[in-house]
Amino acid sequence: MSLLNVLAGLALSAVVSLAGYWRGSLSLSGLLGAMAIGTLIFSFGGLAWALLLIAFFVTSSGLSHYRARAKEPLAEKFQKGHRRDLGQVLANGGWGALLALAFGFWPQTTWLVAFVGAMSTVNADTWATELGVLSSAPPRLITSGHTVPVGTSGGITLLGILVSLAGALVIGCLALVFVLVNPWFPFPLLPALSLPPRGLWLLLVPIAALSGLLGSLFDSLLGATVQAIYYCDFDKKETESAVHRCGRKTRLIRGWRWLDNDWVNLLASVFGSGVALALYFAAG
């Protein structure tokens, strides 16, 4: 890592984060967190890593604003709104930043594969959440298959699964492009990294697709089983938040109190990394 990398990473993350703050996609704490995460990932991972993070942020932020009015009635079910705070930023990018740190001190292909798995998972999960709730078919609980209200944690739809797969594929395709153009790029997208045979890298797209999809489904599984879910006795509604939008405290009806949606997202990204590595080693 060089001072130039740090300054370039800070400048790039500042531009993207400020744009997100101006668009209403980030809160002030989210802005600061995004700048820190982006700087770390660029400084230790390099430009390709940073561009994958930006792809996730730009696409997920755009989808959060898509048909916002139609999704507004569901907001009370979720722990937080579409304006990401520090907790949400760390949940989606914190594990990736740790992988970038590991890569910076020990440049190995496996760290990049794990990062692709993490980014595929958070992108897949966000796409599924933002578009899956618009499905005309009612969601079904991932554990039992029973029909549940739209927005219920652990509920999945065919549309959600398909867009989840699409979100993971976007990350996989971009990662493959960065790897293939790396030798001919004016400056290295992936510095200090000895790449394996190109044929093995062609598997990066299906690896990203499968790890992202399974990571997203793992997120839903946690949501259906151990994520903290509350109930507002005044409004008679289920929610992920300990305080309902009406301002009243809710009561825990299932799950572990400490395991909120941010922790679920973080654990899912770690799971997605593990799946990606397992597939990569199996293929190699």
Q: What is the C-alpha separation between 104 and 116, in angstroms, rounded?
A: 16
Q: Kind and range of the H or E element at 232?
A: strand 229-232
Q: Kindly give the residue spans of alpha helices, DSSP state H, lying in 75-156.
A: 86-105, 109-132
Inform me whether the pLDDT recorded for 233 exceeds 60. yes
Per cent of the chain over pLDDT 70 is: 88
Mean pLDDT of 232-250: 78
Residue with tokens 């958070």: 122
> Is residue 75 predicted with pLDDT exceeding 60?
no
Query: How does residue 166 score in pLDDT terms, banded at 50, 70 and 90?
Result: very high
- Start-end of H helices in the chain: 3-22, 28-45, 47-65, 68-71, 86-105, 109-132, 158-181, 198-201, 204-225, 261-283
pTM comes to 0.90
Q: 54-74 burial string, b = 16+ CB within 10 Å, else e?
A: bbbbebbbebbeeeeeebeee
Would you mind telling me the total number of residues written for the chain in this entry?
A: 284
pLDDT at 199: 64
Q: What is the mean pLDDT of the chain?
A: 87
Q: Label residue 172 by pLDDT band (50, 70, 90).
A: very high
Comparing 214 with 251, which gets the higher pLDDT?
Answer: 214
What per-residue confidence (pLDDT) applies to 198?
A: 62
Please state whether beta strands 237-239 and 229-232 pair in parallel, antiparallel, or not at all (unpaired).
antiparallel
Per domain, the residue ranges of the chain are 3-283
The predicted model gives 196-203 an average pLDDT of 70
103 to 9, 100, 113: CA distances (angstroms): 16, 5, 11
pLDDT of res. 77: 56
Q: Is residue 209 scored above 60 in pLDDT?
A: yes
Q: Is residue 222 scored above 90 in pLDDT?
A: yes
What's the pLDDT at 274? 97
Question: What is the average per-residue pLDDT within 74-81?
Answer: 56
pLDDT of residue 76: 54
Backbone angles phi, psi at 34, to 5 degrees: -65, -40
Task: Kindly tell me if the per-residue pLDDT of 72 is higher than 70.
Answer: no
242: confidence class by pLDDT, cuts 50, 70, 90: confident
Across residues 142-148, what is the average pLDDT?
92
Residue pair 96/41 in contact (Cβ under 8 Å)? The answer is yes
pLDDT value for 92: 93
Q: Give me the pLDDT at residue 90, please.
A: 93
Taking the C-alpha atoms of residue 37 and residue 97, their distance in angstroms, rounded to an integer, is 6
pLDDT digits (tens, 9 = 90+) for 100-128: 999 988 888 899 999 999 999 999 999 99
What pLDDT is stored for residue 239 in this prediction? 81
Provide the pLDDT for residue 164: 96
* Band (85; pLDDT cuts 50, 70, 90): confident
